Structure 1
Amino acid sequence: MLFRSLRAAVSATASIAVVAGAMAVTAPSPAKADEGMWTFDNFPIQTVNDKYGTRIDQAWLDRVRNAAVRLQGCSASFVSDEGLILTNWHCVVGCVQDLSSPENDYVKNGWMTATREEERRCPGQTAEVLTEIVDVTDRVLAVGEGLEGAAFNAARSAEINRIQQEACAGDPKLNCQVISFYRGGRYALYKFRKYDDVRLVFAPEQQAAFFGGDPDNFNFPRYALDAGFLRAYENGQPVSTPNHLTWNPEAPKEGDVTFVVGNPGSTSRLLTMSQLERLRDQQLPVTLIQASELRGRLLEYSLTGDEAKRLAFDPIFGLENSFKVYYGQQGALTDPDFMAMKREQEQELRARVAADPALVQRIGDPWADLERVQATAMDLYLPFRQLEQSAGGGSQLYQYARAIVRAAKSSDMSEARRAQLAASLANEVPIATDIEELRLRYWLSKTREYLTVDNPDVQRLLGRESPEALAERLIEGTKLADPAFRAQALSMTPEQLAEADPLLAFVLANDDAAKAIGDRWAAEVSAPTARAAEKVAEARFAVYGTNLYPDATFSLRLSYGQVQGWTHRGVTVPPFTYMGGLYERATGSEPFDLAPRFAAAEARINKDVVYDFVSTNDIIGGNSGSPVVNADGEVIGAAFDGNIHSLGGAFGYDGELNRTVSVSTAAITEALRAVYPQPRLLEELGVD
């Protein structure tokens, strides 16, 4: 489940188009197969038209881009002229849980609305539409010339902030973001139209959306109605969205061309061998071990009662999904054949660079530079991870406290950034204190374990208390669950914060150490990595040209492919499942028990309707909720997963095996008609 100079290739101000992308497992030459998450300003229109006989043009790209929506961590699309948004259920389940209570478990029972008045706001959710792309590579690269370490980071950050502030000019309806592409080879300003009133319209029952649970996750066949609807509002009224995708209630056919429009989160296909090896040998193992133990603690907590099970569902759901992704990534990086192929690609590029003395003179040896950086990163990673990167263990209250403390200590925070922080702190989000305490306790115990008892920073963290007692005292004593107190605290001085709340006092007492290791990481790892990566990117452009797609950066991308199954070890997997297959697969036991409404509707459902389908599109986490679009620009599904072979997709794409898993609009239509009667939604979607 799907929970960074290319100056010659684009004009200074580019029209916007397709999104996707990352480098494939093949050599970094013009893309083969259906690989690539392409930016809208460098989409291979002619390649696609020649391969599939389509007639894609700039106007088509603009229509699709204008309908694409970026959510918090997910993708989506407008599907009506009244701000209706299609995405995945697993992209809205956090909102559903926030709106639930012990008396009304909407995650379990589903969220149905008969009128607009029943649509409820999702705390903290935003919807963003990309409106403009501007190349700012020259500005960003120029400010770092001749600088190193902290000075390099400071100059670059200041210039990026200037670019963003100039572009948005303080308009709260805009979000301006400078995004790195090709690992620092190109920088572009992405300007988004932002909507911060997003309301929940429809979500099916958990068991319908996530039938098969974790055992079926990243697998196929699938029988999951992983779809949900939101609506964007402004000034209390639904947003007018004439740029939207037309709803096609018919299922695709095998071989049909498909386009996936969304915001793939992060890939690492352009990393060098030394970077991949440290990821394999240090970062992923630590991540897997900690995620596994945290999952165990959450599962044990969920067994303590019905309310605990309800509160723990979303955290466990996200953690299990992430764990399987990390496990798949580790599997790819420990595959000798895969790593041999990556090494061969790097050797080829380095040999071609070495054959060009002028290029060597310009870039030096960035691969050797990155090897040296990895040695530093190995030493700094654990304290950086425990004290800064993962501090708080995922506790929302801790994140509030750190944001407030750092705002109080900052003398140069812009008014716009302070206003943005204030708005975020004002969101009324339900806080599960048991889970907050569990997360904080776990982080404190792991930090003591990894950094050792005698570490001065650990001694400062714990004092004479145990992780368990300290976590209990901080969570029970804090007032940060109250938005009014958070707003009050944002205006306090550090001295006042220390007196006002125990969690604020705790963060304040330990923030200097956290900030110090964060600064060291930025100066000794991030800055030289950025420097060297720019040189590697320059080498790629010099050797292979500009017909390349960048690693994913949670920015709008477009991938192309076709509806197609696959064959592995003699077993052929067809591209479709059908609604009737749900009833055949159901066993009556979790996680293969039928959702109550589906059980009751069996006689009314057309069992021949295509339920889920697979295609060769290249996607990654962050693409969840992406509309699957046909050659006519109509939406025919919502991507929600990849198959098991796609788990190594962070590092490469295999066109023979990697598949995108989507729920069809045909199945969503049938469910809205026969299972969850929603005539209002069907009418808005233009379905008879």
Structure 2
Amino acid sequence: MKIFKTLFILVSFPLFAQQGGMWIPSLLEGMNVTEMTNLGMKMTAKDIYDVNNASLKDAIPHFNGGCTSEVISPNGLLLTNHHCGYGQIQSHSTLEHDYLENGFWAKNMKDELPNPGTTATFIIKIEDVTSKILANVDQSLSEAEKQKKIEENMAEVVKNSPKETWQENRVRTFYEGNQYMLFVVETYKDVRLVGAPPSSIGKFGSDTDNWVWPRHTGDFSMFRIYADKNNRPAEYSEENVPYKPKHYLPISLDGVAEDDFTLVFGFPGTTDEYLPSVAIEQVINTINPARIAIRDAALAIQDKYMRADPQIKIQYASKYARIANYWKKWRGETLGLKKSDAAGIKKRQENKLTSEINKKGKQQEYANILPQFEKFYSEIEPYALAREYFLETVLRNVELLRTAYQTYQLKQIFENRGEQSFNDRRDNLLASLENQYKDFNKQVDSEVFEALIALYAKNVPQQFLPNSFKNLNAESTASNIYENSAFVKYNSVKNLLTGNAEEVISKLEKDPGFILVKEMADSYFEKVDPKYDELNTNISALQRNYMKALLELSPKDARIFPNANSTLRVTYGKVNGYSPADAVYYEPVTHLEGVMEKYVPGDYEFDVPKKLIELYNTKDYGPYGENGKMPVNFIGTNHTTGGNSGSPAIDANGNLIGLNFDRVWEGTMSDYYYDPALSRNIMVDIRYVLFIVDKYADAKNLINEMTLVHPKKDKRKIKK
């Protein structure tokens, strides 16, 4: 495996002439540091990642397993996006105390609000364990046997690698199974809400502006990590104290300018940068259109009700935002893949790889990979389409179906594991459903159900549909289920699930909602899932060998970074504008003037709080404005994806200058293909965050916790 380790470190432009990159922070020495230095960075690799001394990594926790956050004070004050904390803000909101509408600010620590289940996870150490994981994984083994041995080795490494009792070992795969890394982590479980601007600031522009530049959104919220008296992770307790970090980020007041160095540090979710061209064509022509059509229908219905009823708006705010986020992303992604000719570029890259395979005499190992990709992607397409419809309809967009499916799983658990496992899962399900039903609206869900079940019956390949769907009437089906199923109310679901396993199952099998889900799930798991898994396993094995070929046959200076997999990564670039179309150029920084230009009184996306208007009119920006203007957002060339939400944007000296929260519409295809001309990440200027906290919210108690600096001027700490 030494050949791979060398390539990982050296990494610039290979057979795949890709720029960007999401780099493992423990492997920055070499090409990465040289490139970052050339871009203007003043730090060393050890300033970014160090096991033995405090470094930037110690200020960057994974927020609740999905976003990134950063510690910005010696008292565990945590900064992340408003949309990352949206669920927590919503959970504390009522009609009487609507923190989504009005914001929330704790003026002292006693007012900070606990959030059961919310976590902040720090990376303590990263170690390459490839040789241990691949030990005795012989090429003569079948794919299933290989995976079984790998899983056994991973379990052994997790169990026997050294850690403290309050820490956890995790092994993650990189380069499609060609490298494995061990992560030692600490997860803090007492994370309290400290501050959030109103949605008219934190979500300004809402879905219209999502994935769009120019942007004018104050997308931030603040939390605090609490620990036990030994500064170790602990469940919520009034006895807990603010966490004392190994490192926290100083905050620069100097702002940004074109070509300034930017480093984004965080936990990007998933990317597929090395998919073959045939896979990209399938995303463009089949998978994304199906996803978009389903969410088009669901969102239109939810939006109609949210605009008409303030209570429904609160109930559905978080759900709508979650569904809309990737709906819009998929639309932009498809446009970007077409505009950049990603499939065509990948075909040309594949031709170069084929030439290199022939030149190096590697036909026996690699020549069959690309033809096999063509074969397997052609075979998997109808199964992949049916799978997307099942996931989007049953598990993601219709709440009644999702709940009924969870009870379908209960039945499976009883049949496979017995009564005790059934009881444990049933009790956990009832506990989670009680909170979920507070935000359930029968009328809204019924209308979404009717629209989506009609699409399901029409667009899922006929051979995969249940027999009852062949002549389905969506309207009458919806009417029957939402009038007669127990799944429309929490109390009736609770009654439905009361009793021993056989009694519960007997009741479930008479419920029309359960009957429908059972028909859909049985058909899916009989006709779709097994074949999809078989083909996907073959594709994954091919992808691993394809990646191996790239690593082996690319030049030594090849720029081959691992796909994102929700592990800690570094991505670096510069503050830069861009030109998305002929005669169009976007500046890299927006200002408060742009907020006022978009202002629509009373509009749920573009309303502006009265106090913010007053601050704008008086130009009362304090030390946070620049040349009489208040910067709001800026863009850079950092290669980011979902999971980077909340990631700190860090300057050349290691100071916080912004907060990553989005990408531009034209560059959302960067999960599959990074185009340096179009791909830009969007960040909140940290000065706008400070301005809102200080001048708008008058939460000077929070400002006083932070360390504010002027690195471009005199590196002196600013007086508060």
Which structure 2 residues correspond to residues 474-489 of structure 1 after superposition, within 5 A? 474=485, 476=487, 479=490
Give the CA RMSD over aligned residues.
3.9
Name the residue aligned to 2:332: 328
Three-state SS of the structure 2 residue aligned to 1:392 is: helix
Name the residue aligned to 2:715: none
Name the residue aligned to 1:608: 629
Name the residue aligned to 1:96: 89
How far 1:122 moved relative to its partner? 3.0
Contact 1:10 1:41 (8 Å CA) reproduced: no
How far 1:463 moved relative to its partner? 10
Change (3 A) 1:321 1:379: closer
Contact 1:497 1:505 (8 Å CA) reproduced: no
Contact 1:7 1:186 (8 Å CA) reproduced: no
Aligned counterparts of 2:418 and 2:137: Cα–Cα separation in 1 = 20
Deviations 1:42-66 (A, max 9, x none): 3311221234253422233331112
Change (3 A) 1:649 1:198: same
Change (3 A) 1:265 1:512: same
Three-state SS of the structure 1 residue aligned to 2:396 is: coil
Deviations 1:460-495 (A, max 9, x none): 99999714432554454564899x999x98x96476
Aligned counterparts of 2:190 and 2:445: Cα–Cα separation in 1 = 27
Contact 1:149 1:523 (8 Å CA) reproduced: no
Alignment pair present for 1:37 and 2:9: no
Which TM-score applies when normalising by structure 1? 0.85
Three-state SS of the structure 2 residue aligned to 1:684 is: coil
Contact 1:613 1:662 (8 Å CA) reproduced: yes
Which structure 2 residues correspond to residues 158-173 of structure 1 after superposition, within 5 A? 160=154, 163-164=157-158
Change (3 A) 1:586 1:613: same
Name the residue aligned to 1:64: 56
Contact 1:383 1:517 (8 Å CA) reproduced: no
Greater Cα shift, 385-394 or 301-310: 385-394
Change (3 A) 1:333 1:674: closer
Aligned counterparts of 1:135 and 1:651: Cα–Cα separation in 2 = 26
Name the residue aligned to 2:75: 82
Name the residue aligned to 1:575: 588
**Structure 2 gap ranges (5+):** 227-233, 622-627, 709-719
Alignment pair present for 1:644 and 2:665: yes
Amino acid in structure 2 at the alignment position of 1:651: Y
Aligned counterparts of 1:10 and 1:427: Cα–Cα separation in 2 = 50
Contact 1:153 1:522 (8 Å CA) reproduced: no
Change (3 A) 1:479 1:583: closer
Amino acid in structure 1 at the alignment position of 2:112: E
Amino-acid identity (%): 20
Three-state SS of the structure 2 residue aligned to 1:334 is: helix
Given candidates 651, 655, 672, the residue that maps to 2:693 is 672
Greater Cα shift, 446-455 or 631-640: 446-455
Change (3 A) 1:31 1:302: closer
Amino acid in structure 1 at the alignment position of 2:95: P
Aligned counterparts of 2:489 and 2:527: Cα–Cα separation in 1 = 26
Three-state SS of the structure 2 residue aligned to 1:652 is: coil
Change (3 A) 1:614 1:549: same
Contact 2:403 2:487 (8 Å CA) reproduced: no
Contact 2:342 2:673 (8 Å CA) reproduced: no
How far 1:311 moved relative to its partner? 2.0
How far 1:557 moved relative to its partner? 1.1
Deviations 1:651-670 (A, max 9, x none): 22233332221111111111
Amino acid in structure 1 at the alignment position of 2:287: Q
Name the residue aligned to 1:392: 395
Three-state SS of the structure 1 residue aligned to 2:375 is: helix
Amino acid in structure 2 at the alignment position of 1:627: P
How far 1:27 moved relative to its partner? 4.8
Change (3 A) 1:244 1:498: farther
Change (3 A) 1:463 1:279: closer
Contact 1:400 1:425 (8 Å CA) reproduced: no
Name the residue aligned to 1:588: 601
How far 1:439 moved relative to its partner? 5.2
Given candidates 217, 229, 237, the residue that maps to 2:210 is 217
Name the residue aligned to 2:577: 565
Aligned counterparts of 2:669 and 2:641: Cα–Cα separation in 1 = 10
Alignment pair present for 1:260 and 2:260: no
Greater Cα shift, 104-113 or 216-225: 216-225
Deviations 1:296-355 (A, max 9, x none): 121223244221222222233233332221112211333474432221111111210122
How far 1:161 moved relative to its partner? 5.2
How far 1:360 moved relative to its partner? 2.7
**Structure 1 gap ranges (5+):** 18-22
Deviations 1:369-411 (A, max 9, x none): 2222112211312333344575333436356546645554554
Name the residue aligned to 1:20: none
How far 1:422 moved relative to its partner? 5.2
Which structure 2 residues correspond to residues 266-277 of structure 1 after superposition, within 5 A? 266-277=270-281
Contact 1:405 1:508 (8 Å CA) reproduced: no
Name the residue aligned to 2:711: none
Three-state SS of the structure 1 residue aligned to 2:25 is: coil
Amino acid in structure 1 at the alignment position of 2:388: R
Aligned counterparts of 1:328 and 1:101: Cα–Cα separation in 2 = 34
How far 1:592 moved relative to its partner? 3.0
Name the residue aligned to 2:648: 627
Change (3 A) 1:596 1:424: farther
Alignment pair present for 1:661 and 2:682: yes
Alignment pair present for 1:48 and 2:36: yes
Amino acid in structure 2 at the alignment position of 1:552: A
Change (3 A) 1:513 1:581: closer
Aligned counterparts of 1:144 and 1:517: Cα–Cα separation in 2 = 33
Greater Cα shift, 223-232 or 506-515: 506-515
Three-state SS of the structure 1 residue aligned to 2:662 is: strand
Amino acid in structure 1 at the alignment position of 2:457: R
Three-state SS of the structure 1 residue aligned to 2:84 is: helix
Aligned counterparts of 2:202 and 2:632: Cα–Cα separation in 1 = 12
The aligned length equals: 665
Alignment pair present for 1:347 and 2:351: yes
How far 1:165 moved relative to its partner? 5.4
How far 1:642 moved relative to its partner? 1.7
Contact 2:163 2:169 (8 Å CA) reproduced: no
Which structure 2 residues correspond to residues 105-504 of structure 1 after superposition, within 5 A? 105-138=98-131, 140-141=133-134, 143=137, 145-148=139-142, 160=154, 163-164=157-158, 174=167, 176-233=169-226, 234-235=234-235, 236=237, 237=240, 238-335=242-339, 337-357=341-361, 359-387=362-390, 391-394=394-397, 395=399, 397-398=403-404, 400-401=406-407, 404-405=410-411, 407-411=413-417, 429-431=435-437, 432-434=439-441, 437=446, 440=449, 442-451=451-460, 457=466, 459=468, 466-471=477-482, 473-474=484-485, 476=487, 479=490, 493=501, 496-499=504-507
Deviations 1:82-141 (A, max 9, x none): 222111111111221122123322111112212222222335422211223233444555
Aligned counterparts of 2:601 and 2:133: Cα–Cα separation in 1 = 58
Deviations 1:513-546 (A, max 9, x none): 4444565146422211111011101101111147
Aligned counterparts of 1:550 and 1:461: Cα–Cα separation in 2 = 45
How far 1:283 moved relative to its partner? 0.8
Amino acid in structure 1 at the alignment position of 2:259: G
Given candidates 9, 20, 33, the residue that maps to 2:5 is 9
Greater Cα shift, 658-667 or 595-604: 595-604
Given candidates 522, 532, 552, the residue that maps to 2:564 is 552
Contact 2:298 2:452 (8 Å CA) reproduced: no
Greater Cα shift, 339-348 or 383-392: 383-392
Amino acid in structure 2 at the alignment position of 1:572: Y
Change (3 A) 1:497 1:137: farther
